[in-house]
Amino acid sequence: MAKNTNIWKSINFDDTEESALDLLETQKEKLFKDSRSLLKLEVEAVDSYLNTEPPTLALIYKAFIVAPELSNYRIKIFTVVEYYDKGRFPVDIMSHLDNDKINEVHKENFLSEISRILSKSIVRNRIKELYKLSKENKNVT
């Protein structure tokens, strides 16, 4: 093979399906704006090998609410699991504050399921408390 051979030509980079991560990215600016720049959505994406039988390859998206005013203190709110063998969707979602697991979430329901998690009192109250502490800390400094 010559050094000017393009080994990537078999991959169509224009034909990419929207992922759960793409949908979460659309929400970052909304939280930042709605919280008056006091809270941020941070999503960590990790390639993983799930310990199942048989073992399963997956992408794991961990979603955190971050408070920059509190030395970037963060709370893990939910995790999304995207399975390689299923494609981008359906995904599974685990709500960390109440250990609720939602299986087989399709793209058209994804943001409404995330919204449902955020509307739970345990989640909503933790986020509101983080906002309140951030606001108080900003007023002190």
Asked whether the predicted pLDDT for residue 4 surpasses 80, the reply is yes
Share of the chain above pLDDT 70, in %: 97
Question: Given pLDDT bands bounded at 50, 70 and 90, which one contains residue 140?
Answer: low
CA–CA gap between residue 96 and residue 33 (Å, rounded): 24
What average pLDDT does range 35-56 have in this prediction? 92
Computed over every residue of the chain, the mean pLDDT equals 93
Q: What's residue 141's pLDDT?
A: 54
Q: What's residue 133's pLDDT?
A: 96
Q: 103: exposed, middle or buried (C-beta count within 10 Å: 0-12, 13-18, 19+)?
A: exposed
Nearest to 119 by CA among 127, 130, 129: 127
Q: What's residue 76's pLDDT?
A: 98
CA distances from 8 to 52, 55, 74 (A): 32, 28, 38
Q: What's residue 41's pLDDT?
A: 98
The model's pLDDT over 96-135, given as tens digits with 9 standing for 90+, comes to: 999 999 999 999 999 999 999 999 999 999 999 999 999 9
Asked whether the predicted pLDDT for residue 1 surpasses 70, the reply is no
